Amino acid sequence: MKTNTKRKLTKSNNRVIAGVLGGIAEYLNWNANVLRVLFVLLTIASHGFGILLYLVLMTIMPSKPENAGFFEQMRRATQDGDSTHSQPKGRKEIHNVHEEDEPRHRD
């Protein structure tokens, strides 16, 4: 039986470093630990190419919306503009302020 649900390849909460292999394992319905062992073996066999591949996937693979990690937050901040560090627009109004002069000292 075929389902019409669209699955998206995203990083996982089941993470050791960045959740890349956990996300791929969830997408393929595999055990994440088996995929990690295969990845290590293939990285050793390819003289470290897997490390480069992992770094690329870590930067381009999106996180799930509910568990956005560091890189996803940085990507959103650069795309949307970080509103937490922006200056407030317009003028501030201060209400209910009582001002007093400094008392004069008489010698």
66 located within any domain: no
Is 104 contained in some domain? no
In a domain, 41, yes or no: yes
Quick one: pLDDT band at residue 1, thresholds 50, 70, 90?
very low
Number of structural domains, the chain? 1
Closest CA to 23 of 7, 9, 37: 9
- What is the pLDDT at residue 70? 66
* Banded pLDDT at 86 (limits 50, 70, 90): low
Chain centroid offset of residue 64 CA: 9
pLDDT for residue 65 is more than 70: no
**Residue 49: which residues within 8 A CB-CB, separation 6 or more?**
43
Q: Residue 94 to residues 27, 81, 91, 98: CA-CA distances in angstroms? A: 55, 29, 10, 11
DSSP single-letter state for residue 7: P
Residue 89 placed within a domain = no
**What residue numbers bound the domain in which 48 lies?**
32-60
Residue whose structure tokens are 């995203």: 10
Whether residue 2 lies inside any domain: the answer is no
